[in-house]
Structure 1
Amino acid sequence: MPYSGITQFVGREDDLERLHQQLQPGSPVAISAVSGMGGIGKTELALQYADQHLNLQTYPGGICWLRAREELGTQIVSFAQSCLDLSPPEDRELAAKVAYCWQHWQEGAVLVVLDDVQDYQDIQSFLPPPGPRFRVLLTTRLTLRSPVRNIEIKVLTETAVLELLRSLVKDGRIDQQINEAKQICKWLGYLPLALELVGRYLARKPDTSVATLWQRLQNKRLDAKALKDRETGMTASLGVTAAFELSWEGLSEAAQQLTGLLSLFALAEIPWELVEPCLPNWDAEELEELRDEKLVDWHLLQRTGKGLYQLHQLLREFFTAKRERMSVDGELKHAFCRVMTAVAKQLPYSPSKLQIKQFTPVIPHLKATVTTLHTRLTDADVIKQSTGIANFYEGQAAYKDAIHWSEHSLKIAKTRMGRNHPDTATSLNNLARLYYLQGRYAEAEPIYLESLLIREKQLGTDHLDVAASLNNLAEIYESRGRYAEAEPLYQKALKLRKAQLDEHHPDIAQSLNNLAHLYTMQERYADAEPLYQKALELRKTQLGERHPDTAQSLNNLAHLYTMQGRYLKAEPLYQKALEILAEELVENHPDVVSILNNMGRLYANQERYYEAKQSYQKALEILEEHFCNHPNQANILNNIGLLYASQGLFSEAEPLYQRALEILIQELGENHPYVAKALSNLGELYFCWGESQQNYYQTMNYRSQARNYYSQAHKTAKKSLGSTHPITKTINDTLRVIEEYLG
């Protein structure tokens, strides 16, 4: 048997046990194969098994180790002559001599190992005869079928490869720079051969840090010295690239081109439905055969699920290097970009839950296109792809990722088209929207303004994109409590849309909905209701009964009914809206939070306190997990505080009110209507708290605190809403009553 060069065998205990179960006496399996990609550790596993059972004397008839790449029949005869003292007749053919050796082998169970089998047919005629005596173990890069039983081995776990590195590098460097060590393991795809090579490299270079090695690997990739220099004494006979080269040489030109195409995809699962259109002139069945019989069966490509395939990290690096030297490199890149561009055009602006699931496998490959092949895309296509990725993440409320890709789109637009191009304005608008959805209104406003100015200058003041910008800017003004500034913008956007669009267009429904929402915030309920009703009707007709925008209209109308005390009409609308969003959107979507919060308010107004708290808490949990100090979080804290206060639980309500006030001042500024409302809530809390006291002086103390909060609320309301606004008047009336109590 060959010499095992490893110092510690790790991570293959389960594989050894599987091998033992297949080969033990009494097992119906006579031929087992350890299969896997080059460098995975097939030979080492077979060697460890053979060595272990040599010591255990499991095979009294002997263990015969044969190199399948060399002349197999000659090796068998030579082994029998030298180790078993057999003398096959000289006048027979080689196959007959081999048969003689098997027939006259010494007594007892025998293990025959054939290392590195390239073709089962090449070895089949030399295998021992069927029967209980002989157990055959093959190692191969192929996936063999009946009568062979395969044990396919995978890459090691991170824990196992770190243990392997520590066994080779004994001076503590691995744990001293554990993060860099983990990065190396991940980049090498947890491939045992690669990890052993870099471990030995570090061991013989005690002054080289793990971080330095990581940098060298990043710079030189597969050409790094650490991956090429095989040491004497290793079980493996080749470095990483040389090991892969053996498989490469066995591929046809067509199969090699296919690997070149696959290397353009990201290091992620590859939907096969993306591969086929990249090679439109290839026969689909022949393409499948290349995939299955060459790449998958040779462990150069892994099938990970129905219609999904993936390359190993280092094989992808290897195939990339090969592709870059192919004459068809440019053609493959062009085809790949063409398909990815077509896919990007299918990405919806606001993806549903089903669409998110559908497009999730595609996203990594779109990212690869816009980051590594963007020079091969048109200006419009590269922006379309970046924006599509951002929209995909926005649909999941994954705003950090969405902002990253929106910023990427903006950077490309500015660089390739200029700061004043309409596409730059669109990218600015998209970025501002993401800030708006996060409650970062102060950051969103100047970006929306910049987008609006570009659109007005480049497209004209009557363009529909200008209408969209006016609508978006109005949303910011409304959210910041600047209602007087928001209304004319909403009105102008609606006017532009009505003039240029069909009267049933969804954008008109959006304008009606937003204007109604503003009126609701101003307590102009009579003005709001017909607009909400019209928006709902349009959305049902144009978008469908189950569309998320239809759910938004149902929620808004139900909220209006709640504010008017029309609870019986509100509740079924909330329930229907929530049912739609549960089907269509992710559970942490802002629209889901809005419905839960509004339902909580409905239940609280009906004194259904348990249901109210449940609804509020669920909404709050979503916000706290996915957002940081969002103004809506303050709104929900206020509502929970109000819930406690209405039950006389003043001490539980106070910290919630205070926290809500802090968030609102921090995020919206001191002069916002929401701040006025939060201050008046605290004022009401202290007044009611005082009325519950038995001690006169305590009552007066609480009333004094209530006056202070109502006084601040009145000043804030006057600044943000004006002295004639109903909310301002209500706060002022309450303040006067408290002052009368105080004398």
Structure 2
Amino acid sequence: MSVGLSVVEVAEFAEVFADVVAARVVLESAGLVRSRHPGWTTAVEFWSEAGRLLAAGVVVDGRARLMGVAAGLFPGNEVFAAGVAGGLGDGGRGLSVWGVPERLVRFVGREDLLEEVHAAAGAAARVSLVALDGLGGVGKTALALEYAHRHRAEFDVVWWVVAERAELVEARLAELAGPLGLPAESDADAVWAALRGVASWLVVFDNVEEVAAVARFRPSGGGRVLVTSRNRAVRGLGSAWIEVPTLERSASLELLESGPAGADHVGADRVAALLGDLPLAVDQAAGYLARTGISAQRYARLVEAQPGVMLGRGQVVDRPDTVASVWQVSVTWLRAENPAAVGLLELCAWCGPEPIPVDLFTGDHVDWPETAGDRGGLAALRVAAGDSVAWEEAVGALVGYSLARRDGDALVVHRLVAAVTREDAPDGRSDEALRVLAGLLCEVLPGDVWGNPGGWPAWRVLLPHALAVAESARGGEGQLFADGCWLADRTATYWQGHGQLPAAIGLFEQTLTDRERVLGAEHPDTLISRNNLAYAYRAVGRVEQAIGLFEQTLTDRERVLGAEHPDTLISRNDLAGAYETAGRVEQAIGLYEQTLTDRERVLGAEHPDTLISRNNLAGAYETAGRVEQAIGLYEQTLTDRERVLGAEHPDTLISRNNLAGAYETAGRVEQAIGLYEQTLTDRERVLGAEHPDTLISRNNLAGAYETAGRVEQAIGLYEQTMAVAQRVLDQEHPWLATFRANLKRAREATATCDSSAPS
């Protein structure tokens, strides 16, 4: 059987033979005629396709011949040597996963630091976690990136996690699930557990802001963890820590003098001194010199002429502000060369520091707001977004000036670059960029968060940017304020639906305060915020607060919108739910019956909101002991939802779960178990194994097993539910207490049975 190229080998060929001419010469030397060569888009894609051709047997002994040619050209290359020896370039291991950003084009010096890191974190080292800390921009990320690339052949799995936002660390780590062969819904803990079965692996947590976000991810076995952070507290995480210093002057000069511009020694030394040998600043300056062709002395004068805000405040210009001056100069020249690139930077500057998907600006789904302006970079960018060539040139110019870097199909803009861009934009331009970005996010992100699992991937990717824009936009006016509040409200709703109740409540409260301040207490949007906050209060167990807000909102909506407005009917339904939670069941039933009647008349008998009312009324009947009435309504609602919404819509799954509960209450336990099992299977497939609704299904099925006397099965499900809930729900979530009590009861029942058994 023919063999192709491993993941590691593809990466090695793509790096060593990154030029199309060299790549084709090597492939021809291995016996593959040029007419059979893959097309050239990127080096990685070229060599991946070449590997597939070799695996297909288009050349006899093609792999061996290719490895021989490569090893002859680069005799010291370990990957090629392993290939010649007959093994795969992954060292013969069965798994090879590489999830690391591209290698920096210009990396100089640091050999002593790389040796120190390797001595501490290498595969043969006794230390398993190494922390790199130091000044922002000092090159911690560059050092970790270079280390990962140099030593990738030593590990089966190498994965990079952007850890700047504590609340997103687990989501980024969970993205490793797919490459490891785990189910797509697997969380960070499942990934970490799976890594224990990997012979040798390296995970990099880059730019950690909150140490607690990564503290529990301790390596074991052949695992290694590398952490970079400006926070010195990371030193307490690992067995070793390294403080990353600024560059030696000789390394700074090498960066400045070795580029195409070939800066003169005296001018380069002056630039390095002005930049304090800060790697980020020096490398950016070198890129600027190479791109513009100006002298180092001229560049130094431009930097000196822009001390900016720091001199204005009477403070000494320190290294970070010198970096800001460098970025100001770069933007000035970029604006003249490619205005669209500046427009792109102005938009990215309002995003979060996480990777920004480029299709946010260019996808077919994007309808650019009319407010995109008729002048400057944003106008140019709007045109470029519709022209693939112009778009790539704009992105290339932005990356070429070191103002952003590529990360796959995303762009990353350093937080300091973003800050300088926002502060230094011409009058009105920065606010205009924020307006455009807010409009784009409102266009791209689905507004239906609860019942639309298909929209959750977009929310997961864009959540940090929606948060960042919402925080800024809520301080604006008009449509900008409205968009910011919408993003905040929808983000809070997403968090609530995924079990992050405290975070959701905090954002709901902020949004309500903002809307009351700007729009007034009775504006329809303010009433939406008040109702949503009340709903979150109810979910977290603050029922009396919820009832107060619901009653206030219902009164206001009846007066402002009318008694039969759809939003008013939502308030009446939600207030009934809060009454039911508080034990005021008869009041709840009265409101539910009134709301159902009104919705059938106003919206129609099969409108989704009407079906919600019928489902909720059935629940209140069940709570009141009117089980047969509840079962009749549940069965009718389930039938209607299957027909109107589909068998796997989240609301349909709610109906099936509730009907199972009513069957169990009525003593029809086997019917209940069948429905619970079906619902759990469907929720795991549609929502994911760890969605809060799936946890409810698993818990309910365990309860039915317990009722049926299948206590051991019940305990197993309760334990599984509890373990997952502790990972995915906030520790203050009220469901945790319920799950814990259920597990305790089942275990005690088993213990009681054991103690009463004859000896």
Distance 1:267 1:436 in 2: 34
> Secondary structure, in 3 states, of the residue corresponding to 2:648?
coil
Distance 1:568 1:362, change over 3 A: same
* Residue 158, structure 1, aligned to residue 261, structure 2: no
Report the counterpart of residue 353 of structure 2 in structure 1: 267
Quote how far apart the aligned CAs of 1:401 are: 2.1
Distance 1:311 1:612, change over 3 A: same
Q: Is the 8 A contact 1:547 1:580 kept in 2?
A: no
* Residue 335, structure 1, aligned to residue 436, structure 2: yes
Q: Is the 8 A contact 1:227 1:239 kept in 2?
A: yes
* Residue 288, structure 1, aligned to residue 391, structure 2: yes
Q: Is the 8 A contact 1:410 1:428 kept in 2?
A: yes
Q: How many residues align?
A: 480
Distance 1:195 1:165 in 2: 19
> Secondary structure, in 3 states, of the residue corresponding to 2:461?
coil
Report the counterpart of residue 595 of structure 1 in structure 2: 697
Q: Is the 8 A contact 1:422 1:454 kept in 2?
A: no
Report the counterpart of residue 645 of structure 2 in structure 1: 543
Distance 1:590 1:226, change over 3 A: same
Q: Is the 8 A contact 1:337 1:377 kept in 2?
A: no
Q: Which amino acid aligns with 1:561?
A: Y
Q: Is the 8 A contact 2:439 2:483 kept in 1?
A: no
Distance 1:449 1:442 in 2: 11
Q: Which amino acid aligns with 2:470?
A: V
Report the counterpart of residue 472 of structure 1 in structure 2: 574
Report the counterpart of residue 348 of structure 1 in structure 2: 448
Report the counterpart of residue 371 of structure 1 in structure 2: 471
Distance 1:479 1:312 in 2: 47
Distance 2:343 2:747 in 1: 68
Quote how far apart the aligned CAs of 1:48 are: 9.8
Q: Is the 8 A contact 1:397 1:588 kept in 2?
A: no
Report the counterpart of residue 552 of structure 2 in structure 1: 450
Report the counterpart of residue 301 of structure 1 in structure 2: 404
Report the counterpart of residue 488 of structure 2 in structure 1: 386
> Secondary structure, in 3 states, of the residue corresponding to 1:309?
strand
The one of 316, 324, 327 aligned to 1:241: 324
Report the counterpart of residue 440 of structure 1 in structure 2: 542
Q: Is the 8 A contact 1:263 1:317 kept in 2?
A: yes
Q: Could you list the runs of 5+ residues in structure 1 that have no partner in the other structure? A: 1-17, 50-153, 169-187, 197-216, 231-237, 653-688, 695-743
Distance 1:347 1:41 in 2: 43
Q: Which amino acid aligns with 1:649?
A: T
Distance 1:627 1:228, change over 3 A: closer
> Secondary structure, in 3 states, of the residue corresponding to 1:423?
helix
Distance 1:293 1:329 in 2: 22
Report the counterpart of residue 358 of structure 1 in structure 2: 458
> Secondary structure, in 3 states, of the residue corresponding to 1:350?
coil
Distance 1:221 1:546 in 2: 62
Report the counterpart of residue 136 of structure 1 in structure 2: none
> Secondary structure, in 3 states, of the residue corresponding to 1:280?
helix
> Secondary structure, in 3 states, of the residue corresponding to 2:411?
strand
Aligned pairs for 1:102-121 (under 5 A) are none
> Secondary structure, in 3 states, of the residue corresponding to 2:416?
helix
Q: Is the 8 A contact 2:472 2:484 kept in 1?
A: no
Quote how far apart the aligned CAs of 1:357 are: 1.4
Q: Is the 8 A contact 1:267 1:311 kept in 2?
A: yes
Quote how far apart the aligned CAs of 1:550 are: 0.7
Distance 1:222 1:395 in 2: 47
Distance 2:692 2:499 in 1: 7
Distance 1:166 1:303 in 2: 24
Quote how far apart the aligned CAs of 1:42 are: 4.3
Q: Is the 8 A contact 2:355 2:411 kept in 1?
A: yes
Report the counterpart of residue 88 of structure 1 in structure 2: none
Report the counterpart of residue 417 of structure 2 in structure 1: 315
Distance 1:367 1:645 in 2: 45
Q: Is the 8 A contact 2:534 2:550 kept in 1?
A: yes
Rg comparison, structure with higher value: 1
Report the counterpart of residue 670 of structure 2 in structure 1: 568
The one of 482, 497, 518 aligned to 1:395: 497
* Residue 512, structure 1, aligned to residue 624, structure 2: no
The one of 493, 496, 518 aligned to 1:416: 518
Task: Give per-residue Cα distances to partners, 1:377-404, cap 9 Å, x unaligned.
Answer: 4254333222111122122222122212
Distance 1:29 1:241 in 2: 42
Distance 2:750 2:324 in 1: 73
Distance 1:352 1:462, change over 3 A: closer
Distance 1:319 1:290, change over 3 A: farther
Quote how far apart the aligned CAs of 1:551 are: 0.8
Aligned pairs for 1:223-234 (under 5 A) are 228=318
Q: Which amino acid aligns with 1:241?
A: A
Distance 1:624 1:161 in 2: 28
Distance 1:264 1:591, change over 3 A: closer
Quote how far apart the aligned CAs of 1:431 are: 0.7
Task: Give per-residue Cα distances to partners, 1:628-675, cap 9 Å, x unaligned.
Answer: 5655455445544553455462899xxxxxxxxxxxxxxxxxxxxxxx
Distance 1:494 1:222 in 2: 65
Quote how far apart the aligned CAs of 1:532 are: 0.2
The one of 480, 490, 495 aligned to 2:597: 495
Aligned pairs for 1:46-65 (under 5 A) are none
Distance 1:246 1:422, change over 3 A: closer
Distance 1:570 1:222 in 2: 73
Q: Which amino acid aligns with 1:357?
A: P
> Secondary structure, in 3 states, of the residue corresponding to 1:340?
helix
Quote how far apart the aligned CAs of 1:436 are: 1.6
Q: Which amino acid aligns with 1:158?
A: T
Task: Give per-residue Cα distances to partners, 1:667-718, cap 9 Å, x unaligned.
Answer: xxxxxxxxxxxxxxxxxxxxxx9xx999xxxxxxxxxxxxxxxxxxxxxxxx
Quote how far apart the aligned CAs of 1:325 are: 2.4
Q: Could you list the runs of 5+ residues in structure 2 that have no partner in the other structure? A: 1-14, 17-70, 78-101, 115-205, 208-225, 233-240, 247-274, 284-306, 363-367, 373-380
Quote how far apart the aligned CAs of 1:331 are: 4.5
Identity %: 25
Distance 1:432 1:481 in 2: 17
Distance 1:517 1:48, change over 3 A: closer
Quote how far apart the aligned CAs of 1:579 are: 1.9
Task: Give per-residue Cα distances to partners, 1:446-500, cap 9 Å, x unaligned.
Answer: 1212211211221223333222212111112212222122111111111111110
Q: Is the 8 A contact 2:537 2:543 kept in 1?
A: yes
Distance 1:605 1:46 in 2: 66
Distance 1:591 1:43, change over 3 A: closer
Q: Which amino acid aligns with 1:643?
A: A
Distance 1:480 1:317 in 2: 48
Report the counterpart of residue 558 of structure 1 in structure 2: 660
Q: CA RMSD in A?
A: 4.5
> Secondary structure, in 3 states, of the residue corresponding to 2:406?
strand
Distance 1:630 1:518, change over 3 A: farther
> Secondary structure, in 3 states, of the residue corresponding to 2:564?
coil
Distance 1:546 1:294 in 2: 47
Distance 2:637 2:472 in 1: 44
Q: Is the 8 A contact 1:165 1:195 kept in 2?
A: no
Q: Which amino acid aligns with 2:348?
A: L
Task: Give per-residue Cα distances to partners, 1:135-162, cap 9 Å, x unaligned.
Answer: xxxxxxxxxxxxxxxxxxx999636996
Q: Which amino acid aligns with 2:354?
A: A
Distance 2:713 2:227 in 1: 46
> Secondary structure, in 3 states, of the residue corresponding to 1:303?
strand
The one of 581, 590, 595 aligned to 2:683: 581
Distance 1:651 1:227, change over 3 A: farther
